Structure 1
Amino acid sequence: MTSVFRLERHPAGCDMEVGESVDITPDQDGGVIKRLIKKGAGDDYPNTGDTVYFNYIGYTGETVADEFIFDTSERDGHLFKHEVLKGQVIRGFEMGILTMKVGERAILYIKSSYAFGPKGQLPKIPPNISVIFDTEIIRVECQDLSEKEDLSILKKVLIRGKGHGTPNFGGEICADIKCYYGDTVYYDKKGVQFLLGEGSTDGTDFPMFVEDLLICWKCEEIARLYFASHQAYGKKGFPKYNIPPDQNLHFIVKLVKFEQNSDFWEMDNPEKLEKCDSFKQKGNMYFQKEEYPIAAKFYEMMVEYVEHEYCMEGEEEQHRAQIFLNGNLNLAQTYLKMEKFIEAIECCDKAIKSDPNNPKAYYRRGMAQLSCMDHENALKDFQKTYELEPENKAALRKIDECRRAEIECKRKQRENDRRMMSGLGQNQNNGATSDGGSSMSD
């Protein structure tokens, strides 16, 4: 994994006047001097996660002259692409980029210790030599976090966080969040406290689609987020905060502090099993409150903790197997409530593999199949449910419903077939009268 360099933006290099020169090194040792040629636009500066596109000309020595050019982006006619703070360029150049806005042009005078050092980069750059970069930032792209990479979820780090740790599921969170779009602020909350995974519960109202991103946040990190409407509150909006349907949104989020929960690989077997039991209790609580997305998270964690645990034996293994079965059954029921029918079927498949004679697994899979209009497979599942549980009247009613639905589907199909054949015959007759049957004369 590429490490992120701990370089800081020097405030003296920001918002300079044209023609001004400033030392942007932290120790003010003259190692990197920035001279502003043209001001940029906007308020944002490049930061962790951003990709910067720019033009540049590099010179060796301390004179800007054509004979000293060692490299230029104009050589291949393409903008230079640079991922900020990933160690892809020399330290002094990175320090300069951090202080530049889009459209800004500056000349960076970089001493050897901030450039290529005692080794140089032969044959173009001798050892222990200063370099100069004349560079202009053309555009900056922030992180696209959307699964389809369609720019529907964007993150722009404003202030980098501290340390290396990040929150995990169940850990304590304290965060500030501001939700807005344009000039309209929908809410602005300070010091919101919750356990990661439960932030969206009624009363806390920390949006789940934002909460899910906090696992990559560092302490004291501040970032601006953009969500297209379908990635945010969607067609329902959020009436409680006067957020209308189909509203794109921006958020400013600061992770004030957090406490990590123990990760499952740090636990022994009894601790894992006890944790899964607590996940089940919380999942059941949120299911009863009809907060199904939160319930689903806890059931998902139940399954995740034990699905690939192969080292348990005896009573521990029996407990693990029961957790895996219950987790999938509960998750399937929750997915049905959320109308995530394919996911529900997958959970039931796992449950049936674990316990081939579990009537709940067949019934819930049947319900998902029925919702997908797969009457044939739904009927098989309800019949299996009734076979395993003859007193299950709900399964019997569903068997009848599937049979009636199949009959109705066949009736509609016959109707469509008759309509198609009737239309085909009419078209053939029309064709014969319109050209006297001459269409076959060739």
Structure 2
Amino acid sequence: METSPVSLMKEKDTAQPQQREENAQRNLGAATQVRQQSLGPTPETLDLGVKADPASRSVENPPKFENPVAGFEGDADKCHVSTNAMADRLQASDLWYCPDGSFVKKIIVRGHGLDKPKLGSQCRVLALGFPFGSGMPEGWAELTIGIGRWREKTWGELTEKCLESMCQGEEAEIRLPGCSAPLVKLRLDSFTKGRDSWELDAVEKKALAKEEHARGTELFRAGNPQGAARCYGRALRLLLTLPPPGPPEQTILYSNLAACQLLLGQPQLAAQSCDRVLEREPGHLKALYRRGVAQAALGNLEKATSDLKKVLAADPQNRAAHEELGRVVIQGKKQDAGLARGLRKMFS
């Protein structure tokens, strides 16, 4: 039997893949050898007998933390705002606001010690910048807390309150609400020891209150209700520290204070002062009349009518009460007429 000849093409095709595989193995081995020569020994073959210390590695190569806020827009502005806020707080610490809101004290130079002037303290003061007609001395002056006519006008009262908040050696500016420009500069050079009102005995308090009462009446008769109100207020602050019910002078002081407050255009305060009088003496005619006037100014016509009728019931010849009641009646009729016109417009 003759065997069929083997095709040369098939032999070539069979040998060619084997040759390619052998060539690939040789190339891979050569590449591996070249790579090992270039990189040096592998970690497995490098054994020095010493292991790396993680702590030393962390010291030598400390981790770098990125700024958590870096890259956000407005970071610089935020830092700038916080700095300004800190500056504002530091500046605010140099300001002292009078509890009654009458002025603001800006501290220029801080004083030393903790003591401050009290009632009876003689203060050596350098004052500059008082407006003309204030009644306050310019330059160096000796001022006594709680004593003297220098306290009667507005600037005197403000200066006394400011001095009572200052320490020795302190320099400050007095600023009025709504006015940015400094008006007055004070320097408290020295002062003698004084006393708080609670350190005075009852006799001393009554004596000082009597002086304030007399001076207030003098100012009221001279046409100065503002100065009179300050004197009456200081007298009341002294007497209110006495055990209740207090001396009868409190009734007169509150009634006089209400008269001043009406002249100063303060009907709400006047009504409150009259309430204090009527709590002690319900039939006090002057307090009833002044409260009636205050209620009329506030538009409380029914309350005003009630108080004025009580006055006329006790004193039918009281001319002032008759006149005020007549004005209240006219004011009530005007209100009723206005209300009627408004109702007609609504339903027309």
Q: TM-score, normalised by structure 2?
A: 0.64
Query: How many angstroms apart in 2 are the aligned matches of 1:308 and 1:180?
Result: 33
Q: 1:157 aligns with which of 88, 101, 107?
A: 107
Instruction: Letter of the 1:403 partner, please give it.
Output: V
Asked if the contact 2:123–2:191 (Cα under 8 Å) also holds between the matched residues in 1, the reply is: yes
- Does 2:171 correspond to 1:222? yes
Instruction: Letter of the 1:212 partner, please give it.
Output: K
Query: How many angstroms apart in 2 are the aligned matches of 1:270 and 1:211?
Result: 24
Q: What is aligned with 2:304?
A: 378
Q: Shift in Å at residue 420 of structure 1?
A: 3.3
Query: How many angstroms apart in 2 are the aligned matches of 1:155 and 1:267?
Result: 28
Q: Shift in Å at residue 218 of structure 1?
A: 1.9
Query: How many angstroms apart in 1 are the aligned matches of 2:202 and 2:292?
Result: 34
Instruction: Letter of the 2:189 partner, please give it.
Output: V
Asked if the contact 2:95–2:107 (Cα under 8 Å) also holds between the matched residues in 1, the reply is: no
Asked if the contact 1:144–1:153 (Cα under 8 Å) also holds between the matched residues in 2, the reply is: no
Query: How many angstroms apart in 2 are the aligned matches of 1:400 and 1:176?
Result: 55
Asked if the contact 1:321–1:354 (Cα under 8 Å) also holds between the matched residues in 2, the reply is: no
Q: What is aligned with 1:254?
A: 187
Instruction: Letter of the 2:282 partner, please give it.
Output: P
Query: How many angstroms apart in 2 are the aligned matches of 1:172 and 1:322?
Result: 31
Query: How many angstroms apart in 1 are the aligned matches of 2:161 and 2:333?
Result: 45
Q: Shift in Å at residue 343 of structure 1?
A: 1.1
Structure number with higher strand proportion? 1
Instruction: Letter of the 1:283 partner, please give it.
Output: G
C-alpha spacing 1:189/1:305, structure 2 compared with 1 (3 Å): closer
C-alpha spacing 1:263/1:228, structure 2 compared with 1 (3 Å): closer
* Alignment RMSD (CA, Å): 3.7
- Structure with the greater alpha carbon radius of gyration: 2
Q: What is aligned with 1:362?
A: 288
Q: What is aligned with 1:20?
A: none
SS at match of 2:107: strand
Which runs of 5 or more structure 1 residues have no equivalent in the other structure?
1-66, 68-73, 82-101, 104-136, 182-186, 233-246, 312-316, 423-442
Q: What is aligned with 1:212?
A: 161
Asked if the contact 2:96–2:106 (Cα under 8 Å) also holds between the matched residues in 1, the reply is: no
Asked if the contact 1:363–1:382 (Cα under 8 Å) also holds between the matched residues in 2, the reply is: yes
Q: Shift in Å at residue 214 of structure 1?
A: 2.2
Q: 2:266 aligns with which of 320, 340, 346?
A: 340
Asked if the contact 2:95–2:106 (Cα under 8 Å) also holds between the matched residues in 1, the reply is: no
Residue identity over aligned pairs, in percent, reads: 20
Instruction: Letter of the 2:197 partner, please give it.
Output: F
SS at match of 2:274: helix
Q: 2:240 aligns with which of 307, 313, 316?
A: 307
Query: How many angstroms apart in 1 are the aligned matches of 2:157 and 2:142?
Result: 14
- Does 2:135 correspond to 1:168? no
C-alpha spacing 1:307/1:156, structure 2 compared with 1 (3 Å): closer
Task: Map Cα deviations across residues 353-394 of structure 1 (whole Å, 9 max, x no partner).
Answer: 011110011011112112212222111111111222223111
Q: What is aligned with 2:326?
A: 400
Query: How many angstroms apart in 2 are the aligned matches of 1:207 and 1:268?
Result: 26
Query: How many angstroms apart in 2 are the aligned matches of 1:138 and 1:166?
Result: 28
Asked if the contact 1:161–1:221 (Cα under 8 Å) also holds between the matched residues in 2, the reply is: yes
Task: Map Cα deviations across residues 136-160 of structure 1 (whole Å, 9 max, x no partner).
Answer: x85531344447999x954332222
Structure number with higher helix proportion? 2
Asked if the contact 2:98–2:104 (Cα under 8 Å) also holds between the matched residues in 1, the reply is: no
Q: Shift in Å at residue 414 of structure 1?
A: 1.0
Query: How many angstroms apart in 2 are the aligned matches of 1:251 and 1:227?
Result: 10
Asked if the contact 2:104–2:177 (Cα under 8 Å) also holds between the matched residues in 1, the reply is: no
Query: How many angstroms apart in 1 are the aligned matches of 2:276 and 2:124?
Result: 37
Q: What is aligned with 1:296?
A: 229
